[in-house]
């Protein structure tokens, strides 16, 4: 999405690692300002060269929609996964988005694990970070793991080493 048609204000709204037919992406326009914008489709070849296609769009959200969106944003500041969605089929490299934060002075770290086949005895640590997060935690290459239903577990650890856990089930389908 090129805000107001300006390439210097490009916002990436979808990335695919394999050829895709049909619907590429559903765009929620509420995070973006009302006005005239451009959508850019960039098809990148194996040699890293690409072709671009553009189309004009108008974003015209109502005041009521924008207020509802602001309420959802406030709610999204609570801990847990934002993407992938519960039960989502994923393949290739997947971006894992979540919120992992606590009030000042309480936060120790967050930890992201993969529970193969939803089994806590088959937990694989994916990453740990000692900084609060609100967005991308990591990009996971699902091809390194078996196909099937698995669980992502996010632990948000307090300084007293107690923690809260958040889960999302996903299906690896490589």
Tell me: the pLDDT tens digits for 127-144? 999 988 888 999 999 999
- Which of 85, 78, 77 lies closest to 168, judged by CA? 85
Task: Note the CATH architecture for domain 80-172.
Answer: Sandwich (2.60)
* Residues 116, 118, 122, 128, CA torsion sign: positive
* Whole-number percent of the chain with pLDDT over 70: 94
Give me Rg for the CA atoms of the chain.
19
pLDDT at 155: 95
Q: For position 30, what pLDDT does the model report?
A: 82
pLDDT in tens, 43-99: 888 898 999 999 999 999 888 888 887 776 665 568 889 899 999 999 999 999 999
Position 95 scores a pLDDT of: 93
Per the prediction, the chain carries an average pLDDT of 88
Locate the domains of the chain by residue range: 3-75, 80-172
Beta strands in the chain (DSSP E): 35-44, 50-59, 80-83, 88-90, 93-100, 107-115, 123-129, 133-141, 148-158, 163-172
Residues 18 and 10: beta-carbon distance below 8 Å: no
pTM surpassing 0.75?
no
Q: Is the pLDDT of residue 106 over 90?
A: no
Q: Provide the sign of the torsion angle of the four alpha carbons 8, 131, 110, 134, taken in this order.
A: negative
Short-list 85, 131, 140, 139, CA closest to 111: 131
Whether the pLDDT of residue 108 is over 80: the answer is yes
User: In this model, does residue 100 exceed pLDDT 70?
Assistant: yes
Mean pLDDT calculated for residue range 15-24: 72
* pLDDT exceeds cutoff 80 at 17: no
Q: pLDDT: is 133 or 17 the higher one? A: 133
Task: Render pLDDT for 35-44 as a digit per residue (tens, 0 to 9).
Answer: 999 999 888 8
């Amino acid at each position: 999405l090129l805000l107001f048609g300006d390439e210097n204000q490009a916002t990436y709204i979808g990335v695919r690692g394999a050829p895709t037919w049909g619907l590429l992406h559903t765009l929620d326009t509420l995070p973006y300002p009302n006005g005239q914008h451009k959508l850019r489709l960039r098809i990148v070849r194996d040699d890293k060269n690409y072709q671009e296609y553009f189309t004009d769009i108008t974003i015209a959200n109502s005041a009521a929609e924008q207020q509802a969106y602001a309420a959802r944003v406030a709610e999204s500041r609570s801990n847990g996964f934002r993407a992938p969605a519960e039960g989502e089929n994923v393949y290739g490299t997947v971006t894992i988005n979540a919120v992992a934060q606590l009030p000042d002075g309480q936060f120790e770290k967050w930890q992201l694990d993969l529970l193969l086949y939803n089994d806590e005895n088959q937990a694989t640590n994916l990453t740990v970070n000692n900084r609060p997060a609100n967005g991308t935690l990591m990009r996971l290459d699902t091809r390194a793991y078996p196909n099937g239903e698995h669980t992502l577990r996010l632990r948000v650890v307090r300084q007293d080493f107690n923690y809260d856990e958040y889960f999302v089930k996903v299906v690896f389908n490589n």
